[in-house]
Structure 1
């Protein structure tokens, strides 16, 4: 049972006891800024910068010979990064690779596994997932000559916040061929029971893929237990690999002999790749789902920050994440609910991800006011202020000060000075 206090001294005491406190200095913090948007774009780290600059220097020194140095390390860089990422989700090293972006990787997964028949042709999704997942699903259905209105089965939320795992499982009828779901909902931070849902899908002969965008780097998944067919994720949120960083892709080793839906020359076996045959010689591991030449400058920062995560340990990251978000919720209840603020995420540890969903009728204008106080949150329609106290670089004192500012903004009605007109990036 966690016990918290409302004083600044308590926050400072928690920071002194934090086993990750020294890692904060390895991130590029701005003086006086409280960064609460790591669930959308993680902060730059010194390790990521050094890794990127190192690769730039190698390019300068070696030109095209960069592909051959260090036993072809950078030609096979996806293997290096895949092995490091695999440790975060307890997968085999050759089950994980990095490539393209999340949306293209969804296309890759679905095009590989979605082979509809007259009896089994539907893809099951939910109505709370990030829209890009649905766009990709609908596109893949159309490519098979089917109508998304018929072939895409949507499990709807009853409250606009959470999904029912029972409803998802009940929706796995005999006409469902594939399931694609988020591990953590981007608005409400609900963490689904991936192991249970995956097991139920497999009992029914259904392929299942997971979108880990809002859990990778915040939650230590165990893919040897969960045993999904494929998974995708971005690396620029909690993992702080940089804006638009290269994305992650997992495929279960039991599917290595399956032909990739989208084939490209970097998915060819290394031994025959430069024989430049017109017949695809598929690499029989996750790297066989590669397509084009890898972007080293997008990959290098990921290596730098993964070294931080592996040093910190995902169990330590999750422990602090749960504790500091619980502390934030405690302060919200003690100080803010009387001003119209509400908590819109699950309270139980096993049901929530790494961010807190603070709801308010004037959430958008409050977000604008927060930024004037050097607090960086983000807003999601219709009324959610997302706050992510990322374990590696957000302190308990940051959380304490955040709550003070949230209180001041509403008490003074400062938010009324801001327009409700949405900007391009909210």
Structure 2
């Protein structure tokens, strides 16, 4: 979708007319100098796809929990002055999480961290046989997923040969000279290996490019092959409208510290499709026991129905309570409204960046030997195949210019993130970024590139 580049006056007007303009005041915006910049005032914070900002109500909730801990200690699990007893802390979160996922509340659990939850799911549902043992995953997946997936075939040496373990990973990747995954190519890999695949594991949003994958046909093809489909939603939850039940996804994991602002290392969660059999391979833990019998301390494991029966440990309060504030806010504004604003913010940034004299259109990309001039192209696709992220590939790649450009951006107060070796990710967040932030970000990108060009690319 092509958007005309807005003027400064238009950006200001859009902020004034924005029905969600009040939500920015709910967050604490970082100081530019404390983030490493050389200017005064607030940052233009476009890094919520890596770590979301602190919600002011989350700060309030945290202080309240510390007070409860201080004054009530263990009794806070059962009696809580603010109506949030720790033993049921996740209960008010799950309905909102389920709506964000397009899932049933019983299919969702708030527990642990993304990679730990991924290992739990793989241990339970990756049960290879000598005839069906392969795992389809993207090459270039976030390291958490890649390392976890690679580690599991080796746990089945009693079933698989060394050769099978060595060749268990089927890596899908973009075509030569391209940056995005093609649905048709992923479907072909599944079809060509349909008798050997045990599991397909893919991201909702590819973290490096920001590409949103077309999940439904992949799930359908996976099930036709007799395999299971798992989904990493780290960059999807709170960013993309999802329909896990409609798509037929078998299981999924997510973190909450990006678009849901739960804080560094905040508690994540997982989804398990209703009726999915574990064939007795569940990793049982006390917090997976039915709440009605949990404190009876019996030897018999009586699981909670649904996904929560796969939880192992009690909910970490201090790693969870900040999430409640954002979920309450999202529920109040309605996620569809949030997504619409996110599309407008990202669309405006896209249009402004494409006005830059340093922007390189897709049909003008230099060949490697000709890549000598500073500039950038955007590797993130257009709507509907993106969320709130644009990934800028910085040229000339062979000169290693990207870190220098990134440093100049931070100097001016724009905080995105760098993904080596060539990409800078910028992610305007609908909850706390403004249209005028978008305008300033585009200016800073231009200024940073101009300064590096003036210094000389060989510096």
- After superposing the two structures, state which structure 1 stretch, 147-156 or 124-133, moved more: 147-156
RMSD of the TM alignment (CA)?
2.2
Q: Distance in 1 between matches of 2:454 and 2:46?
A: 19
Match of 2:390 among 356, 373, 381: 356
Instruction: Tell whether the 8 Å contact from 1:190 to 1:346 is kept in structure 2 after alignment.
Output: yes
Give distance in 2, aligned partners of 1:50 and 1:72: 13
- For 1:257 and 1:288, the matched residues in 2 are separated by 12
Q: Distance in 1 between matches of 2:182 and 2:54?
A: 36
Query: What TM-score do you get using the length of structure 1 for normalisation?
Result: 0.93
Q: Within 1, Cα distance between the matches of 2:97 and 2:26?
A: 20
**Distance across 1 between alignment mates of 2:410 and 2:384:** 31
**2:213 is matched with which residue?**
192
Greater fraction helix: 1
Match among 354, 372, 381 for residue 346 of structure 1 = 381
From 56, 61, 85, give the equivalent of 1:46: 56
Aligned to 1:393: 432
Instruction: Name the CA distance, whole Å, in 2 between partners of 1:410 and 1:417.
Output: 11
Are 1:215 and 1:354, in contact at CA under 8 Å, matched by a contact in 2?
A: no
Deviates further, 248-257 or 410-419: 410-419
Structure 2 partner of 1:151? 168
For the pair shown, which has the larger CA radius of gyration, 1 or 2? 2
Residues 208 and 53 (structure 1 numbering): CA distance in 2 closer, same or farther, change over 3 Å? same
Distance 1:417 1:398, change over 3 A: farther
Counterpart selection for 2:184 from 156, 163, 166: 166
Tell me, yes or no, if structure 1 residue 95 matches structure 2 residue 127: no
After TM superposition, list the pairs within 5 Å mapping 1:10-409 onto structure 2: 10-30=10-30, 31-69=41-79, 73-145=85-157, 146=160, 147=162, 148-158=165-175, 159=177, 161-172=179-190, 173-255=194-276, 259=280, 261-335=282-356, 336-337=358-359, 340-347=375-382, 349-361=383-395, 362-409=401-448
Gaps of at least 5 residues in structure 2 are: 31-40, 361-373, 396-400
How far the C-alpha of 1:73 sits from its partner, in A, is: 3.7
Moved more, 51-60 or 130-139: 51-60
Which stretch shows the higher mean deviation, 308-317 or 35-44? 308-317
Equivalent pairs, count: 419
> CA separation of 1:282/1:324 partners in 2, compared to 1, >3 Å: closer, same or farther?
same
SS in structure 2 at match of 1:323 = helix
CA contact (8 A) 2:5 2:355 kept: no
Q: Given the superposition, is the C-alpha separation of residues 262 and 330 from structure 1 closer, same or farther in structure 2, using an over 3 Å criterion?
A: same
* Corresponding residue of 2:449: 410
Contact 1:42 1:239 in 2 (8 A): yes
- Please say which of residues 87-96 and 75-84 is displaced more in the overlay: 75-84
Gap change, CA 1:105 and 1:416, over 3 Å in 2: farther
Structure-2-length-normalised TM-score: 0.86
- Which piece of structure 1 moves more, 67-76 or 103-112? 67-76
Preserved contact between residue 234 and residue 246 of structure 1 (Cα < 8 Å): yes
Offset of residue 261 of structure 1: 3.6
Q: In the aligned structure 2, how far is the partner of 1:419 from the partner of 1:181?
A: 39
